[in-house]
Chains A and B, each alone.
Chain A
């Protein structure tokens, strides 16, 4: 218990919301309701990583860049998976998957290449997230111009997409140029705080998706 407690005290709002999202998803899971594909699993993993693993890694190795790199690949993969699942029947989806696979290979290679360097792999993360953004924007576009009217209030994917969009757009500048600020610790703290605001929206997106489980 003593070893675990410090992890919980280090939690930031983003963690709390993610945790709540996980609990909610778990609750609905036992009621037989489902939301996004494998959302429960995803939430479990990110909660575990965010709350425990990253803190652990920091305590062990002083820097969590390595974890973040692989963790961000994991997140992007999940996002891509959710949207490919949504767009499964579309003709262009199959071709886009190929692109995603290419990206995945590239990201892995980059990860392994930068294994020993304390560098955030912004290029692979950016490209991955931009692909996700394309899918998110296509989702919104379809909602208005392609699909028939449907109510989005109870749609998990809507909240998920909204969270992703706000998160990525608001944190894009900071994430991209984070490498340039690694040197100055004080400035970094401020920017990390700003990043966290963006994260909150992401977590809210997760929560929104989890809440509106059905079937």
Chain B
């Protein structure tokens, strides 16, 4: 009888002790596991961030190296072209023959033009200029100077840009070159009397050139403009933009439409073409 009572006590005891022991183990396990999991997640996030930072650093250094190389090249070329220009200017004074003088003047002219082209390439490559406001300013300066030189009445209206909008070097360069070409056409072929340029950035980049007076042109038929127009189309396509030619009663209206994506300022310099 006494033995049995003892046994029952043992059983009751172990019946309580065992589940407690089990619960303790399980609780310990799950808490520790969650802690470990949390630590792991934090660490992997850290590692991810560090990896991203490393990638950004690498991209930056690549970009810096590219800028440096480009700058060096352009400096070298710039110096050489400058010498060509100055020597040509000196030679012109010593030449009697009109035709020869004209050719030498052309040499000087081309070398100065090259310097300007390279300046534009530097502008396009440098991410410092990766913003829409700067682009409008750059276009404005060129356009106003160009139209002034050719004695054409002009107005440039750019929307006030409140916050910085990023735009990649490739897009900037292509837009700028397209505008250059369009203005060149307007002056040389359309014979426009007045040119109005309008630039907006919301929601897409939108630039409109309105030519008043002059004959305008039919984009589908023009032969002289052939290559130029083809280039313009290609440039717009390359950056994912659209260009619309609209023939008016007296003149033309040309508009450029370009969506801007948020990751534009990091997109490269790899795609800059001359």
Interface residues of A (CB under 8 A from B): 137, 140, 143-145, 148-149, 152, 165-166, 169-170, 172-174, 176-177, 180
List the A side residues contacting B25 at CB < 8 Å.
137, 140, 165, 169
Q: Which of B28-36, B158-166, B223-231, B252-260 contacts A (4 or more CB under 8 A)?
A: B28-36
Q: Which of B7-15, B138-146, B186-194 contacts A (4 or more CB under 8 A)?
A: B7-15
Q: Is B18 an interface residue (CB 8 A)?
A: yes
Contact partner of A143 (CB less than 8 A), chosen from B7, B19, B33, is B33
List the A side residues contacting B15 at CB < 8 Å.
173
A169 engages B7 (CB within 8 Å): no
List the B side residues contacting A172 at CB < 8 Å.
14, 18
- List the 5 closest pairs (A to B, CB-CB), nearest first: A149-B40, A173-B14, A169-B22, A144-B32, A169-B18
B33 engages A169 (CB within 8 Å): no
From known contacts A140-B29, A144-B33, infer whether A169 and B40 are also in contact, taking CB-CB under 8 Å.
Answer: no
**A132 to B: closest C-beta gap in Å:** 15
B7 engages A166 (CB within 8 Å): no
Instruction: Give complex CA distance A173, B39 in Å.
Output: 38
List the B side residues contacting A165 at CB < 8 Å.
22, 25-26
Additional pairs, 18, CB under 8 Å, beyond known A149-B39, A165-B25, A169-B25: A143-B29, A144-B32, A144-B36, A148-B40, A149-B36, A165-B22, A165-B26, A169-B22, A170-B19, A172-B18, A173-B10, A173-B11, A173-B18, A174-B11, A176-B14, A177-B10, A177-B11, A180-B4
List the A side residues contacting B18 at CB < 8 Å.
169-170, 172-173
Q: Is B110 an interface residue (CB 8 A)?
A: no
Q: Is B109 an interface residue (CB 8 A)?
A: no
Q: Which residue of A lies closest to B4 (CB)?
A: A180
Q: Is B245 an interface residue (CB 8 A)?
A: no
Within 13-69 of B, Cβ neighbours of A (below 8 Å) are at: 14-15, 18-19, 21-22, 25-26, 29, 32-33, 36-37, 39-40
List the A side residues contacting B33 at CB < 8 Å.
143-144, 152
List the A side residues contacting B21 at CB < 8 Å.
169
**B86 to A: closest C-beta gap in Å:** 69
Classify the secondary structure of B's interface with A: helix
**Residue among A148, A149, A176 with max Cβ neighbours from chain B (10 Å):** A149
Instruction: Give complex CA distance A147, B153 in Å.
Output: 78
Q: Which residue of A lies closest to B17 (CB)?
A: A173
Classify the secondary structure of A's interface with B: helix
Instruction: Give complex CA distance A177, B7 in Å.
Output: 8
List the B side residues contacting A149 at CB < 8 Å.
36-37, 39-40
B22 engages A180 (CB within 8 Å): no
Instruction: Give complex CA distance A166, B21 in Å.
Output: 10
Instruction: Give complex CA distance A108, B175 in Å.
Output: 90
From known contacts A166-B22, A169-B18, A170-B19, infer whether A180 and B7 are also in contact, taking CB-CB under 8 Å.
Answer: yes
Instruction: Give complex CA distance A152, B34 in Å.
Output: 11
List the A side residues contacting B26 at CB < 8 Å.
165-166
What are 16 sample pairs from A and B whose C-beta atoms fall under 8 A apart?
A: A144-B29, A144-B32, A144-B33, A148-B40, A149-B36, A152-B33, A165-B22, A165-B25, A166-B26, A169-B18, A169-B21, A170-B19, A170-B22, A172-B14, A173-B15, A174-B11
List the A side residues contacting B39 at CB < 8 Å.
149
Instruction: Give complex CA distance A132, B39 in Å.
Output: 30
List the B side residues contacting A174 at CB < 8 Å.
11
**B16 to A: closest C-beta gap in Å:** 9
Within 145-185 of B, Cβ neighbours of A (below 8 Å) are at: none
**B12 to A: closest C-beta gap in Å:** 9
**A167 to B: closest C-beta gap in Å:** 10
List the B side residues contacting A176 at CB < 8 Å.
14
**A179 to B: closest C-beta gap in Å:** 10
**A9 to B: closest C-beta gap in Å:** 31
Instruction: Give complex CA distance A205, B37 in Å.
Output: 23
Instruction: Give complex CA distance A152, B29 in Å.
Output: 12
Q: Which residue of A lies closest to B23 (CB)?
A: A169
List the A side residues contacting B14 at CB < 8 Å.
172-173, 176
Within 118-152 of B, Cβ neighbours of A (below 8 Å) are at: none
List the B side residues contacting A173 at CB < 8 Å.
10-11, 14-15, 18
**B163 to A: closest C-beta gap in Å:** 43
Instruction: Give complex CA distance A145, B28 in Å.
Output: 12
List the B side residues contacting A143 at CB < 8 Å.
29, 33
List the A side residues contacting B22 at CB < 8 Å.
165-166, 169-170
